[in-house]
Structures are given as structure tokens and as C-alpha cells.
Amino acid sequence: MRFSTVRWLHCASTPKLLSSGFPPPFAFLKTGKACPDIISQTLRSFTTGSDKAHEIISDLVNDSSEEYSFAREYLRIPGTKQRLFLVQPRIKYGPRRNMLTTSALQAAENTTLVETLGWEIADTITLPVASLDSPHIFGSGNFAMLQETIRSGAAKGISGIFLGANILNNMQMKAFRDAFHLPIYDRYRIVLEIFRSHARTREAKLQVALAELPYLRSVFRAADGDSSGIQPQSASSSGQTWIGLRKQLIQDRESKIRKELERIRAQRSLNRQTRTKNEIPSIAIVGYTNCGKTSIIKALTNDSNLVPENKLFATLDVTSHAGQLPNNITALYIDTIGFISDIPTMLIASFAAVLEEITVADVIVHVRDISHPDTKSQKETVLQQLKELNLPERLLSNVIEVCNKCDQISNLETVKKEIVPEEDALFTSAVTGEGLYALRERMEEVLLENSGLTEKSFRVPQSGKELSWLYREGHVHFAEADPTDSEFLIVHVTISPSALARYVHEFKKAVYLDRKSMRAARVRTPKPEA
């Protein structure tokens, strides 16, 4: 009985079915756009008793767009403003306890995440936990107390519960849903929704769609456990089970998204090759979300396309912006997606293509919000996640640390000693421009170090071959008359070691000055800050 409609459909659209390559009788699923009503009807007959599972499959079939987001529908994330009750776990001991932060700061960040969506936190409770792994997360006493708090009306008017933990497993999700009869959110789900609402470009939307799939799989698994009518092991005449069909659909979707992302990645890689060929170095600006990455790039480049915003994950796309270093070399600043703590690696992994830009940069600048009370823990999160990107050692050991928003600090000297003991950290303000010139100089230094280029100032005859040689083989910043002899020029150049060796070989009486002398000679670039 269950398969009769499917068989009928199979017969009704045979040409399409056969060409789709999908095993009968499910070939029609590939032609979903053409006959959504029939499919919907069919799926209903297939999934009696599980509206949720039916909806998911139906949309998987009906929406062929790779970037379509399932979050709103299937993760049950409503579009309207929500009032959530925040339950903040406080890990008492063990390796998962973060000694650099407090549960109050974690709760504050969770509140900001929710507010980024335009939602609100009605109330917050912090409860101690031994670990986050048990089915009810909290001990039985605290769990009962939580139930009582919510039942007693203390959390009146709330539309859901936000468990301020990384990601809940199916059992935990079910335990909380059964106990509270309200939608349950974890950090993954909230961050995913922020990503979804901030994604603008096709690449960002595709990455969000990819990040949703693990969650979608877990919703499916939960639906298997929940529904009474569903028959996961029912087999069609071709031997395909319901679960097999579902798996197949998600796999198809995943490979479609990955393929499309790969295409965009190939284009990105091509752009990069052109950049490398033209010797345009890139400087990746990374850091915890909302630390001021976009603002710093805007201050360095005056690029009006950049719009810094006071919200988490304002930037979801990697963009590059040209700016000048003090030696007049043009560099591309790469604006990146912010890091955040307590997010499963699979979410970060979906953004791998974007993060790849960091791994191939010539310099990495780590921006910190030094005015943030959680600045130490944020720094550790970023360094940890940078490590997970498997950056080459030359980059990792040369990360420039920038303490931004120092205009917000009244006791800068104390902060320098207590929070930032590193001597070589720079202090900037993207708002006042403080420290930006020093940052440019440091980026230039590290760029030269990382790329093996050196800066030299050459004394060359006005009418010799040397000048054209240097213009051809090096990057000439500027040339000026030699004040001691008008027959000569002083030419300031960035040059590779091999080119320098060739120059010395070709022009036996070569005279050049080192970088320090060159800096002393540089009188043309005025400092932007007072």
C-alpha cells in the first residue's frame, strides 16, 4: 500500500526518471521542481506520522538551490523576535573549564549573541555542572530546580530556552524538550542563525548551507526516535529504505554545495595566483569577532566599501583591500570572519575555503579588543583556532599582535603590564588613528622578513645602466639626487636576495646602504597621527 503512489508516479514521469539516474521508484525525487504537489502527496504517504520529517524531505526535494537555508524551518528557528531564558552552565573543574574567563562573561557573550539576532534574554540562571556530557547536563537537583523555576512562572512569557553551551547532542536536546516543552537552543544554533541572517554573498550562503547539514542530520536522527508512524526500515521494491533515501538526499545536497564552493575556491585561487605573479603581498587581519578588524582595515585604506558594525559576525565574507605600506609597496589587507569560543569545529570547517586565505597570506595580524573584559580568553581562543588551521611556521611565529580600542582604556600603562605583558604588542585605535603608523611599519618589517625581501638604498650614476636595472628587477620606492654629488642618485628599493647578488655581480662597484640609513633618508611619508 505504502508504495503504490510512488509506483504510479514512477510510471507517470518515466522519461525524466530514467534520465535522472536515481534508483526507481525514487527517481521522481530528482524532478521535484516539476511536480511538487504530487511529491508532497507521495511523501506524506511515505512518512505518515512524522510531519517534521515529511517537511524536511519535501523541501530537500523541492528546493534545488544549493544556498537555500534550512535553519528557519527545520531547526525551528522563528523569524519573529524571541524571548529566551538563558541557562548558563558553569563547569566546576576538569580540562573543559576555561580558567581565563568566568561564567558571568560567558553569559554576557551569550546575551550579546542573542541580541545580535534582535532577540532578547528574559532572564539568566547560572548552574554548576561537572561536565557537559550527561543527558540532562545538570545534576538531578539542579535540573529539577530549573524545571520548577520555569514552571513557577519566574520565566514568564519566554518562547524558548538557550543553553549557553557549545552544541547539545540528540539525547540532551530531547531531554530538555521533553522536560520544558519549549524550543531549545545551543550556541551552535544561535551562531548558525546569525551567520544565516548576515550572509550576503553566494559563497557565504553556501557555507552556511553546508554548516547546517550536520544539524539537519541530527534533526533527522531525532525524528526517527520521536515519530511513531515513521517506518525507517521500510524498503521499496528496489530495496531502498527510508533512511537510505534520506541519507542519499543529504549526501546529494552536500556534494552539490561542495562542488559549487570548489568552483568559487578555484576562482579565488586563480585571483591569488595573479596576485602572486604581480608580487602583491597579502596581510590577513584576524581576531575575535567584534574586535575591530574591519575598522582597522578601513582606517588603513580609507576604503569606503567597508562598514564596521557593532555586532558579532558582521563580516562573513573574506574581502581584500589595497593599502600602502611606508615603503610604498602596495599590500592587500584581507578582512576575515571573526573567531569565537565554544563553537564546534564543523562550523569553522564549513568556512575552510575562506580561512584558506589566512593560510596563504604573507603576514598575519592578530587584532584584540583590549577594552573587552574577556580579552585574555579571546586571545587564547584565536591562537588556538589559528593553530588548528595548520599555518606554516614562518607565519605562526611571526604573528603581529595588535591591541585595538585603546582609546577606551583610561589606565593604559597598567593594562600594558598586567594584560599584555608581551613587549612587542602594538596599541592602536581605529577610531583616533593612534598606533596605525607603527602598525604599518611593523607589517612592512614582518613582510620583508617573511617574504625574504630586503630594503636597500643604492647610489647609482644618473646616466648609468644601474637605474633601469633596478627598476626592472626590484621595487623602486623613490629616487632622489645625491646631496653630495649631483651626478648620482640615491634609489630606494625593495629587492630579493638573489636579485641583490646579481646586481652586485653585474655592477662591481655597487654602493648601497642598509635599511636603517634608508629609513633615515625617508622624509616623504608623513605620520598620520599626531
Ligand X SMILES: Nc1nc2c(ncn2[C@@H]2O[C@H](COP(=O)(O)OP(=O)(O)OP(=O)(O)O)[C@@H](O)[C@H]2O)c(=O)[nH]1
Nearer to ligand X, 314 or 489 (CB): 314
> DSSP letters along 191-232, please?
HHHHHHHH--SHHHHHHHHHHHHHHHHHHHHHHHHH-SS--T
Nearer to Mg ion, 310 or 397 (CB): 310
The least CB distance from residue 336 to ligand X, in Å, is 8
The least CB distance from residue 299 to ligand X, in Å, is 8
The least CB distance from residue 294 to Mg ion, in Å, is 3
Strands (E), 68-173: 83-91, 120-129, 160-163
The least CB distance from residue 481 to ligand X, in Å, is 41
Nearer to ligand X, 145 or 431 (CB): 431
Contact of residue 309 among ligand X, Mg ion, none (CB under 5-8 Å per partner type): ligand X
The least CB distance from residue 39 to ligand X, in Å, is 40
The least CB distance from residue 153 to ligand X, in Å, is 37
Q: Which residues pair with 331 in a beta bridge?
A: 323
Nearer to ligand X, 112 or 525 (CB): 112
**C-alpha cell recorded at residue 95:** 580540562
Contact of residue 291 among ligand X, Mg ion, none (CB under 5-8 Å per partner type): ligand X
Contact of residue 310 among ligand X, Mg ion, none (CB under 5-8 Å per partner type): ligand X
The least CB distance from residue 291 to Mg ion, in Å, is 9
Q: Which residue has the cell 570572519?
A: 337
Segment contacting Mg ion by CB under 5 A, of 104-112, 235-243, 286-294, 394-402: 286-294
> Which three-class secondary structure state does DSSP give residue 525?
coil
**C-alpha cell recorded at residue 251:** 549526501
- Considering only residues 299 to 318 of the shown chain, the ones binding Mg ion according to CB under 5 A are 314-315
Segment contacting Mg ion by CB under 5 A, of 81-89, 124-132, 221-229, 289-297: 289-297
- One symbol per residue from 241 to 280: x for binding Mg ion (CB under 5 A), - otherwise; what is it? ----------------------------------------
Phi, psi (5° rounding) for residue 288?
-60, 150
**C-alpha cell recorded at residue 305:** 566599501
The residue number with the shortest CB distance to Mg ion is 315
The CA distances from residue 234 to 7, 29, 244, in Å, are 15, 17, 10
Nearer to Mg ion, 9 or 314 (CB): 314
Q: Which residues pair with 90 in a beta bridge?
A: 128
The least CB distance from residue 114 to ligand X, in Å, is 15
Nearer to ligand X, 291 or 447 (CB): 291
The angle subtended at Cα 381 by Cα 375 and Cα 387, nearest 5°, is: 135
Residue 369 CA to residue 346 CA, distance in Å, equals 26
Do 478 and 328 form a contact (C-beta atoms < 8 A)? yes
The least CB distance from residue 360 to Mg ion, in Å, is 20
The sheet with strand 160-163 has its strands ordered as: 120-129, 83-91, 160-163, 184-185
Do 6 and 43 form a contact (C-beta atoms < 8 A)? no
- Considering only residues 192 to 231 of the shown chain, the ones binding Mg ion according to CB under 5 A are none
> Is 327 a residue that touches Mg ion (CB under 5 A)?
no
Nearer to Mg ion, 10 or 293 (CB): 293
Nearer to Mg ion, 436 or 518 (CB): 436
Residue 492 CB-half CA count within 13 A: 20
Contact of residue 467 among ligand X, Mg ion, none (CB under 5-8 Å per partner type): none
Residue 404 CB-half CA count within 13 A: 26
Nearer to Mg ion, 117 or 306 (CB): 306
> Is 294 a residue that touches Mg ion (CB under 5 A)?
yes
Contact of residue 25 among ligand X, Mg ion, none (CB under 5-8 Å per partner type): none
The CA distances from residue 519 to 59, 170, 441, 445, 480, in Å, are 63, 62, 11, 12, 14
Q: Which residues bind ligand X (CB under 6 A)?
A: 287, 289-295, 308-310, 312-315, 338, 404-405, 407-408, 429-431
Phi, psi (5° rounding) for residue 457?
-120, 120
Residue 111 CB-half CA count within 13 A: 13
Nearer to Mg ion, 320 or 494 (CB): 320
Helices and strands counted in the chain (H then E)? 21, 14
Do 266 and 318 form a contact (C-beta atoms < 8 A)? no
The least CB distance from residue 69 to ligand X, in Å, is 20
Q: List interacting residues with Mg ion (CB under 5 A).
A: 293-294, 314-315
